[in-house]
Chain A
Amino acid sequence: MSHVMMARALFGITLGYHIAYATISVGAPMLIVVAEILHLKTGQEIYRLFAKRVTMVLVLLVGVGLVTGTTVAVMLSVLWPGFMKTVGQVINLPFQIEVFAFMLESLFLAIYIYGGQRLSARTRIISAGLVSVGSGLSALLITDVNAFMNTPVGFQWVNGRVTDAHPWQAMLSPAMPTELAHVLVSAYMTVGFVFAAIAAKGLLKRGITKVERDYHNKVLRLTIIFGGVMAVATAVIGDASGKFLAHFQPEKLAAAEGLFQTTHHAPLVIGGVVNAATGKVVGGIAIPGLLSFLATGSLSGQVTGLDAFPRTTWPPLFVHSLFDVMVSIGSFSIAVAGVYVLYLWRQRSMPRWLLWTIVTTGILSMGGIEDGWVIAEIARQPWMIYGYLHVSQAVTASGGISWMFGGFLSLYTVLLAGTIWALRVYFRKHPLPTDGMSCSTETSPVKKRGVSA
C-alpha cells in the first residue's frame, strides 16, 4: 500500500472504532434521562433499574471512547499536519468548544455516578440531562468540522494558503444543518435499537422468571419506540441530506446513486453493481423519475451526473452499494418498529421470530452508522477539503506508518475484546434481582468493590 493509503487506512480504522463508542456515549445518556423521568413520574423501580444498567454500560464504554477520541485528536495532528495547518487557521473553533462540551459531560457523569445518595431524584435528572447535552454537543461540534470539509466556507484560498479567515462563518457551512441533525438522530436511533436488542435477547432466554420478563418487556417497549421515532427522523433528514448533496456536492450524490449522465427524470437505481468502464449500473432495479424527485422534489428535476466532472476527481464508485445498504437499514428498522407497535397494539405476546429480528436490527443499526461515515468520507475522495485540498497534499512526510497501523490494529483488538469481556462479566455478576424490584439488592454487592473500585 502507498504511504497515503496507509495513512488513510490507519485514520479510517481509528475513527471507525471511535465512532462505535461515541455513538453509544451520545445516545445512552438520553436513554438514562428518559428512564429517570419515567421513574419519577410512575414511581416504578423498573425504570430506575434500567437507568442504572445503562449507566454501567456507559461507564464501561466512556473510557474507551475517551482514549480512542484522544487517539483521533492526536492522529489528526500527526498524520495530516497539512490539514491541521489549514484547518487551524479557519475551523478550529468547534474543536475548541468541543473540549468544554466534553468537560461538561465528564463533570456531570462523575457527579451522577459518584454523587450517589447525596443527590435527589431531580438533581439526578438534571445531571444526566447535562451529560446528554455535553455528549450531544461533543458529537455535533466535531461533525461540524466534517461539514466544513464537505462544503468549506469562510476563507479565501490563495496559492495554497488561507487568507481572510472568518472562523465563525466557517462553522455555519451549508452542510451543517442536515449533517448535524442526521448524525444526532441516527445516534439516538442506534442506541434505541441496541438496547432493544439486549432486551429482546433477554426475553429469548428460556426459563426466565416473571419479574425478568416484566423488566425486559417494559425496557423493550421504551427503547423500541424511542428508536423507531428516531429512525423515522433519520430517514426524513436523510432525504434532506440527499437534496443538500444534489445542490452542493453533486459529485457525491452521483457516485452514491450510480448516475453517469446528467438528466431530467433521473431514475433511482436500487442495488446493482456500478461499472465505471461501461458507465452503467449492472443489475439493480430502476424506478423512473424517483431520483429526480428525491433530489429536487420534482419528477422532472435535473440531476447532475458524473459526466459533469473530470474523471480524476471521481470518488470510488462502490459507494453506491454502501449507500443502498444504509437506506435499507433505515427502512428495515422503521418496518421492525412498526411491526412491534402493531403487536403491542393488538396486545399479542411477541413471537420469537420478531424478537430475533429485533436483535438483528440492533446490530444492523450500528452497521448503519459505520456505513454512513464510510460513504461520507470515501465519497469525498480525492478531496480532503472539498475543492481545495487533496488528501495526498495533507499527509505527513514522516515514514513508519505501516508498523503504527499494525500496532494500533492490535491495540484496538485488545480494547474491543476487553470491552466485550467487561460487559459480559459485569452483567453475569449482576443479574436482574429476582425477589421483586428493589434496587438495594442490586446495589449492595457493588458498593464495596463496584464502580468506586
Chain B
Amino acid sequence: MTLIHVGAGLIWLLILVYGILGAIDFGSSFWRWYFNRRGEWNAEAIARNYVSPTWELINAFLILIPVTLVGLFPGAVFAYGTVLLVPATLLLALIALRGAYWQFGYASAHRQSQTILVVGITGLILPGVFSTLLPLSQGGFVNVMDGVSRLRTLYFFMSPAVYLYTVFGITLALYVAALFLSRYAYLGRQFSVYARYRRQALWTGPVSLIAGVAAVTVRVPGSLNMAARMMHWWPILAASLASFAVSYGALWWAGRFGKTDKGLRFLNISLVFTLVQLTTAHFAYGLAHAVYWLYPYVTFANSVSNPIMFRATLLVLGVGMLILTPGFLWFRHLFITDRDYVSGRSTTGSQ
C-alpha cells in the first residue's frame, strides 16, 4: 500500500461520512414534510430540532470532498469537471434552492408550509441525484473525442442502472434518517414519535438493501464488472450482511420494550450496526472500484498531484480535524445528546 492508496482511502472515507450525515439530513427534511402533511406535529418537531443546527455543518463536509480531491487528485477533478458541467450545475441549483428556502423559512411562519415542501422534496431528490455519480464512475457513459471527455447524456438517462442507483440512494437516506430519528425521539422520551419513525425504518431498510444489491449487479456495456469485483472481497460483504441482520433484529426487538432505557439500548445497537453495515459495504465497493476514479480513463496514478502537495493536503486534513474535535464534541453534547434539547424543552435561546 502506498501513500496514494492512503489518500484515495481517505477521500472514500470522507464520502462515507458525508453520505451518512447527508442521508440523515436529507432524509430528515423529507420526513419532516411527510409528517407535517399528516398533521403529526410532534414527529415533525423532532426532525426540525435535529436539522436546524446541523445542516450548515453538513454542507461544509460536502465542500471538503471536491476540495480535497483537487489537492490529492487534480486530474480526477479535471475529468469530472469536464464531464459533469451540466449535471453538476443542476445539482447545485437544487442545493441552492434548498439552502435558501430553509433559511428564508426563519423569517415568517406564514410561508412555513412552502419552505417545508421545497426542503422536503429536494431532500428526497438529492440523495438520488448524488447516487447517480456511482454508475457514472463505473464507466460506459463517457466518450472521449479529440481528447475531450463527454457524457453520453441520453444514454445515461435511459440506463436502468442509473435509476436503480437512484432508488437505492433515496431509500437508503430515508432508512438511515428514520432509524436515527427514532432513536433521537426515544432519547427525548417522545415515544409515540419514536414508534412512527421506527415503522418507517422497518420497511425502508430492506427496500434499500434490495435496491443496492440490484444496482451493483446490473451491468452497463463497457463498465467495470462490479458484482464480480465485489465478490472478490466477500468476507467484507458477509460482515456487512450480518450487520444488517443484527441491526434490523435489534430494531425489531426494540419494539417490545415500551418506555424503558432497555429499548434505548437496542436502538443504540441497531444504529451502531447500521454504521458497521454501511462502512463495510462502502469499503467493499470502494476496494472493488479501485484503482479507478473514472473507468477506464482516470486512475489513482494518472490523476495524482505532486508529492509535496499531496503530503501537505493530508497534513492540513489531519490538523484541521484535530483542532475542530473539541468543537464537534461540544456541538454533539448540545444538540445530539441533550435530552431536553431533543424534546424541545430547553429554550431556543438567542432568538
Contacts and interface: CB of A to CB of B under 8 A. Distances in A.
Interface string A68-89: 1111011101110110110111
Contact of B346 (A78, A95, A117, A446): A117
Contacts of A118: 334, 346, 349
B306 interface: yes
B305 A89 contact: yes
Contacts of A407: 89, 93
Contacts of A96: 67-68, 71, 313, 316-317, 320
Interface stretch (B22-30, B103-111, B191-199): B103-111
Interface stretch (B56-64, B162-170, B180-188): B56-64
Given A71-B92, A415-B100, A451-B106, A99 B309 contact: no
A140 to B, nearest CB: 15
Residue from A115, A404, A425 having most chain B Cβ neighbours under 10 A: A115
A31 B148 CA distance: 49
B229 interface: no
Interface in A371-423: 396-398, 400-401, 404, 407-408, 411, 414-415, 418-419, 421-423
B347 A66 contact: no
A398 B334 contact: no
B81 A77 contact: yes
Contacts of A70: 59, 62-63, 92, 95-96, 99
Contacts of A110: 53-54, 56-57, 331, 335
Contacts of B155: none
A426 interface: yes
Contacts of A148: none
B331 A107 contact: yes
B316 A453 contact: no
A88 B70 contact: yes
B89 A78 contact: yes
A165 interface: yes
User: What's the interface size class on A, roughly?
Assistant: 35 or more
B348 interface: yes
Contacts of B88: 74, 77-78
B324 interface: yes
Interface string B82-98: 10111011001101111
Given A52-B350, A70-B62, A449-B112, A85 B309 contact: no
A430 B184 CA distance: 32
A207 interface: no
A104 B313 CA distance: 19
Interface string A83-126: 01101111011011111101110111111111111110000100
B53 A114 contact: yes
Contacts of B70: 77, 84, 87-88, 92, 95
A356 B321 CA distance: 48
A107 B106 contact: no
Contacts, number: 267
A252 B130 CA distance: 43
A60 interface: yes
Given A71-B92, A78-B89, A423-B107, A102 B350 contact: no
Contacts of B103: 59-64, 422
B344 to A, nearest CB: 8
User: What's the interface size class on B, roughly?
Assistant: 35 or more
B351 A95 contact: no
A352 interface: no
Interface stretch (B72-80, B171-179, B205-213, B263-271): B72-80
A59 B106 contact: yes
Given A96-B316, A103-B324, A111 B331 contact: yes
Contact of B84 (A66, A78, A92, A447): A78
Contacts of A163: 306
A95 B103 CA distance: 25
Contacts of A92: 67, 70-71, 74, 309, 313
Given A66-B59, A77-B66, A451-B106, A55 B350 contact: yes
Contacts of B348: 114, 116, 446-447, 450-452
B48 to A, nearest CB: 7
A166 B66 contact: no
B327 interface: yes
A168 interface: yes
B349 A115 contact: yes
A329 B88 CA distance: 39
Contacts of A167: 308-309, 312
Contacts of A166: 308
B57 A106 contact: yes
A62 B71 contact: no
A56 interface: yes
A93 B109 CA distance: 42
A116 B346 CA distance: 8
Interface in B296-351: 305-306, 308-309, 312-313, 316-317, 320-321, 323-324, 327-328, 330-331, 334-335, 341, 344, 346-351
Residue from B71, B92, B335 having most chain A Cβ neighbours under 10 A: B92
Nearest to A445: B109
A429 B108 contact: yes
A111 B334 contact: yes
Residue from A60, A61, A396, A422 having most chain B Cβ neighbours under 10 A: A422
B200 interface: no
Contacts of A100: 316, 320-321, 323-324
Contacts of A396: 81-82, 85
Nearest to B45: A452
Contact of A398 (B82, B104, B312): B82
Interface string A271-295: 0000000000000000000000000
A382 to B, nearest CB: 22
Contacts of B77: 77, 81, 84-85, 88
Given A96-B68, A110-B57, A63 B100 contact: yes
A449 B45 CA distance: 11
A108 B82 contact: no
A404 B346 CA distance: 45
A112 to B, nearest CB: 6
B134 to A, nearest CB: 19
Nearest to B317: A96
A67 interface: yes
B150 interface: yes
B86 A451 contact: no
B49 interface: yes
9 contacts: A89-B74, A96-B71, A100-B323, A103-B60, A107-B324, A117-B347, A118-B346, A422-B103, A447-B348
Interface of B: 48-49, 52-54, 56-57, 59-60, 62-64, 66-68, 70-71, 74-75, 77-78, 80-82, 84-86, 88-89, 92-93, 95-110, 112, 148, 150, 305-306, 308-309, 312-313, 316-317, 320-321, 323-324, 327-328, 330-331, 334-335, 341, 344, 346-351
Closest 6 CB pairs of A and B: A116-B349, A63-B103, A88-B74, A422-B107, A100-B320, A451-B351
Given A99-B320, A450-B106, 11 more contacts: A63-B100, A70-B95, A77-B77, A77-B88, A81-B77, A82-B78, A106-B59, A107-B324, A110-B53, A408-B93, A452-B351
